[in-house]
Structure 1
């Protein structure tokens, strides 16, 4: 996989803090993976900085690795967790793009309505 290798200081597990406590009802932040007893959680801290194309490319790569098999249980769980975070990042980008399109469409409709009103309600001549 073409993921960047974290610096040595990032490879040590930090003690769990109360912000990632799933019993509080909030659950962990999207970039915080919850470790299952006996398994380490996937590092997803870099995903929040990815653009859509980066996240999608890595997601495709991750899904391919999961589908081909061969990974042990712990690695498969880490790939799954990372894949979920990548999918969330892609969805976030797509939601943002959808909102921008809706804003542009609304502005265009308002502009067309204002132009039509300025013309006295006449529509543009057609062929």
Structure 2
């Protein structure tokens, strides 16, 4: 990821990020914290943002899994379509 993208992603609202953007931002934070060259106060802020990014990614993964589990199968056992995970059964 180039610096321009990293800077934009670092300041972007998490709810506006795609899963891939949030994951890339989280990976960048982990790398910064692992290097250990970030001042304490900034480390705490990075950790807080990282936790928010992790939670957002997990929420999206859980939603994707729920959608996959709602694949409707026909009488022959083959997938015959999909059903939204929030649709009433």
TM-score range, shorter chain: 0.7 to 0.9
Distance 2:29 2:39 in 1: 14
Q: Relative to total residues, which structure has the larger helix share, 1 or 2?
A: 2
Q: Among residues 95, 112, 118, which one is paired with 2:75 in the alignment?
A: 112
Equivalent pairs, count: 74
Q: Deviations over 1:10-66 (max 9, x none)?
A: xxxxxxxxxxxxxxxxxxxxxxxxxxxxxxxxx7x7001111100001101100100
Q: Relative to total residues, which structure has the larger strand share, 1 or 2?
A: 2
Change (3 A) 1:74 1:112: same
Q: Which runs of 5+ in 2 are unaligned?
A: 79-89
Q: Alignment RMSD, CA only?
A: 2.5
Higher-Rg member (1/2): 1
Change (3 A) 1:61 1:114: closer
TM-score by length of 1: 0.52
TM-score by length of 2: 0.72
Question: SS in structure 2 opposite 1:112?
Answer: coil
Q: Among residues 3, 7, 19, which one is paired with 2:7 in the alignment?
A: 3
The offset of 1:3, in angstroms, is: 3.4
Q: Deviations over 1:83-120 (max 9, x none)?
A: 0011011101101100110011xx12xx13589xxxxx
Distance 1:114 1:69 in 2: 53
Q: Which runs of 5+ in 1 are unaligned?
A: 6-42, 116-127
Structure 1 residue ranges (4+ consecutive) displaced by more than 4 angstroms after TM superposition: none
